[in-house]
Amino acid sequence: MCGIAGLYTKSPALEAQLGEQLARMLEQLSFRGPDSAGVAFYRDPAPEGWCKVSLYSPAVDPGWDELSVELERAFGASSPPSVRATHATFMIDADAERAQAWLSERHPELRLMSAGSSIEIYKEAGPPREVIERFALEQMAGSHALGHTRMATESRVTTQHSHPFSTGLDLCLVHNGSLSNHNRLRRVLQRKGIRFQTDNDSEVAAGYLTWRMREGATLEQALEGCMDDLDGFYTFAVGTADGFAVLRDPIACKPAVMAETDEWVAMASEYRAIAVLPGAEDAVLWEPEPGRVYSWGTAPVA
Amino acid sequence: MAAPDATRDALESFDLATGTVRELNRRLHGPAHPQRLRVLNPSGRHSIAVGLDGPHEVEIEGHVGYYCAGMNKLAAIRVRGNCGVGVAENMMSGSVIVEGSASQSAGATARGGLLVIHGDASARCGISLKGADIVVRGSVGHMSGFMAQKGTIVVCEDAGEALGDSLYEARLYVRGSVTSLGADCVEKEMREEHVEQVRGLLARAEIDDADPADFRRYGSARNLYHFQVEHLGSY
């Protein structure tokens, strides 16, 4: 069992409260996933021609300031690190592919959590409330965000095994469910050049989406492909630069509820995580149909 | 839907914004339970009003989470909102009325009583039904009536894929379309006694805009669960 939450704002007032509201949703989902939590925030887009990366280091002193100097030397310009607990984000005057290649070559000890123009990923093992506080998530503004609370069923409880998983530039995946063909599919994807950090099943789903989109599929096509190529149970939420998408497997053992008001669109594993949002009592509510891709934001799956 | 009740505000109430579900259920189970109780601010909490064992009335003002009214016996429970997974699961008797929609496995394994859902019910409505009556004003999702043994499911709109898969002796009535029938589920003749049964259930559910004669009946072909003597060698 795990908990998923997604919140997409339609007003600047709510953008300022994005972290606070997402934190409230995650707290309601704590009992579905008490061992780890993670979020992806879409905020502060990098300037034109720049990229943004989120990095994780378990080291006591990861040397983020030194890294910033190195990045500046390599690419001409970089922002100072924006540090939250074990994670730091940087804006770099380079395209994301170049920055990622440089980071993996020069700093293999650092884990790249996300790359793109506006995505930032923060995740850790620990009870959701503690993770929220460690990263000071309640203070974060943004246009939209996804969150996950994990109850591990098939692989270890570590930062790297937590969700969200990056699936490409400005894309990430959170998953509630379990996949049974992930070992075989991981080997297939590895042969196609997709790299994995863990033995986690959900990371394979993220890798699958990355591969399909690298081969030219739209997000919608890649998600529809999940129904043929993934064996198991899932409710997926995929964060995109402009919004998010949701898919439940055709058998639909894993729950999902969606809601919309004039101020926001939300999805969650359970209604109780939506009930805490402002104006929830007047929201239009529905249960997403099995095997159908839903999406918000401008043309994220076109 | 019930007309607004002028006496509602005067009723005794329990506010889940300040009390816990466990306190609520304890109060409903206790010997001095109120005859009629309004539950305020359910906010999607699970296991509200489960295991009731007396002919009292509970009105829940809002959306509830999983397993609301589970194992209900004798009580009349009304939800003025939507329900999460497994509303009225294993109900024994009494009634559960949902004014909104219900998530998966509504009325699962219910043995008796009446479950009415005024909106839609999603997948596996009435799974393993064992004798209760379920009336859905809207549509039901896939695999509804899966392995249902006894009782009735009346669907005023449509049914999703694999209706009545591996069905035993429950009766299924659907007014609208059926995406597909499950293994061993077949359409059967709608005789006068069946029209009368639907008429009676619609009346009990207080649904008056559906003509009982418009429903079609589905039941078990009884091929799947019978011991086939000619297959003796392969058992």
Report the DSSP pairing between strands B171-174 and B130-136. unpaired
How much is the ipTM here?
Answer: 0.89
Residue B232 CB neighbour total at 10 angstroms: 8
Choose the mutation target among B60, B85, B98, B122 for the interface with A, i.e. most A CBs under 10 Å: B122
C-beta atoms of A272 and B85 within 8 A: no
Tell me whether residue B217 is in a domain: no
Distances (CA, A) of A99 to A114, A119, A162, B26: 12, 15, 24, 60
Q: Specify the DSSP class assigned to residue B150.
A: E
How many whole angstroms separate alpha carbon B79 and alpha carbon A300? 37
The verdict on A255 touching B (C-beta cutoff 8 Å) is yes
Question: Which of A252, A271, A287 lies at the smallest CB-CB distance from B44?
Answer: A271
Structural domain boundaries enclosing B181 = 9-205
B180 close contact with A: CB closer than 8 A: no
Residue pLDDT, tens place only, A166-222: 988 999 999 999 999 999 999 999 999 998 989 999 999 999 999 999 999 999 999
For the segment B26-39, what is each residue's pLDDT rounded down to a tens digit? 999 988 888 999 99
Q: Is B225 helix (H, G, I), strand (E, B) or coil?
A: coil
- CB of B47 closer than 8 Å to CB of B89: no
Please tell me the predicted confidence (pLDDT) of residue B9: 60
- At residue B74, does pLDDT exceed 50? yes
- How many Cβ atoms are within 10 Å of B150's Cβ, its own excluded? 14
- Asked if residue B227 is part of any domain, the answer here is no
Give the pairing type, strands B76-79 and B95-98.
parallel
Which tokens is B40 given?
């305020």
Whether chain A has a CB inside 8 Å of the CB on B151: the answer is no
Among A251, A272, A292, pick the best mutation site for testing chain B contact (most B Cβ within 10 A).
Answer: A272
Write phi, then psi, for B196 (nearest 5 degrees): -65, -40
Query: Token pair 């699961």 is at which residue?
Result: B89
Is A270 close to B43, i.e. CB distance below 8 A? no
Is B57 within a domain? yes
Q: What is the pLDDT of residue A297?
A: 72
Is B44 in Cβ contact with A252 (below 8 Å)? no
The amino acid that residue B139 corresponds to is S
Residue with tokens 């392969």: B234
Residue of A nearest to B121 (CA): A287
- pTM here? 0.92
- The gap from C-alpha A275 to its chain's centroid, in whole angstroms, comes to 22
Smallest CA–CA separation between B82 and chain A, in Å? 9
Q: pLDDT-based confidence at B96, cuts 50/70/90?
A: very high
Which of B44, B85, B123 faces A275 most closely, judged by CB atoms?
B44
The answer as to whether B222 is a domain residue is no
Show residues of chain A in contact with B99, CB under 8 Å. Answer: none
Interface test with B, best of A251, A271, A276 (most B CBs within 10 A): A271
Residue A300 amino acid letter: P
Contacts of A259 in chain B (CB under 8 A): none
Chain-centre distance of CA A92, in angstroms?
21
Tell me which residue in B43, B85, B104 faces A275 most closely, judged by beta carbons: B43
Domains of chain A: 2-44+130-295 (3.60.20.10), 47-117 (3.30.70)
Does a structural domain hold residue B210? Answer: no
Per-residue pLDDT, averaged over A11-28, amounts to 96
Q: With respect to residue B147, please indicate whether it lies within any of the assigned structural domains.
A: yes
Question: Which residue does chain B place closest to A291, by CA atoms?
Answer: B142
**B65 chain-A contacts, CB cut-off 8 A:** 270-272
Domain count, chain B: 1
**Is the pLDDT reported for residue B231 higher than 80?**
no
- Output the DSSP codes for chain A: -EEEEEEEESSHHHHHTHHHHHHHHHHHTGGG-BSEEEEEEE-SPPPTT-EEEEEE--SSS--HHHHHHHHHHHHS-BPPPEEETTEEEEEESS-HHHHHHHHHHH-TTSEEEEEESSEEEEEEES-HHHHHHHTTGGG---SEEEEEEE--SSS--STTTSSPEEEETTEEEEEEEEESSHHHHHHHHHHTT---SSS-HHHHHHHHHHHHHHTT--HHHHHHHHHHH--EEEEEEEE-SS-EEEEE-TT--S--EEEE-SSEEEEESSTHHHHTSTTGGG-EEEPPPTT--EE-SSSS--
Average pLDDT value for chain A: 94
Q: How many CB pairs under 8 A join A and B?
A: 42
Q: What is the secondary structure of B42-55 as a DSSP string?
A: -TT-SSTT-S-BSS
Q: Nearest Cα to B105, choosing from B75, B70, B81, B77?
A: B70
Helix, strand, coil fractions of chain B, as percent rounded to 5: 15, 25, 60
Residue A274 sits at the chain B interface (C-beta within 8 Å): yes
Shortest Cα distance, chain B CAs vs residue A163, angstroms: 25
Rounded CA separation B40/B56 (Å): 17
Nearest to B103 among A276, A281, A287 (CB): A287
**Angle value at C-alpha B226, between B225 and B228, nearest 5 degrees:** 130
- Tens-place pLDDT, residues B162-214: 999 999 999 999 999 999 999 999 999 999 999 999 999 999 999 999 999 99
- Domain annotation covers residue B235: no
Q: Mean of the pLDDT values across residues B128-145? A: 98
Q: Which residues of A touch B108 (CB under 8 A)?
A: none
- Asked if residue B113 lies in contact with residue B92, where contact means CB atoms within 8 angstroms, the answer is yes
Quick check: is B135 in a domain?
A: yes
Please give, rounded to a whole number of angstroms, the shortest distance from the CA of A95 to a CA of chain B: 45
- Predicted pLDDT of residue A299: 43
Catalytic residue ranges of A: 2
For residue A83, list its beta bridge partners. A88
Q: Between A252, A270, A272, which is nearest B123 by CB?
A: A252
CA distance B171 to B157: 16
pLDDT cut 90: percent of chain B above it? 88
B65, B123, B142: residue with CB nearest A272:
B65
How close, in Å, is residue A144 to chain B by CA atoms?
Answer: 23
Residue B154: CB atoms within 10 A of its CB come to 24
Q: Write out the two tokens for A17.
A: 């409260």
Q: Is A252 on the interface with B (CB under 8 A)?
A: yes
C-alpha A124/C-alpha A147 separation (Å) is: 12
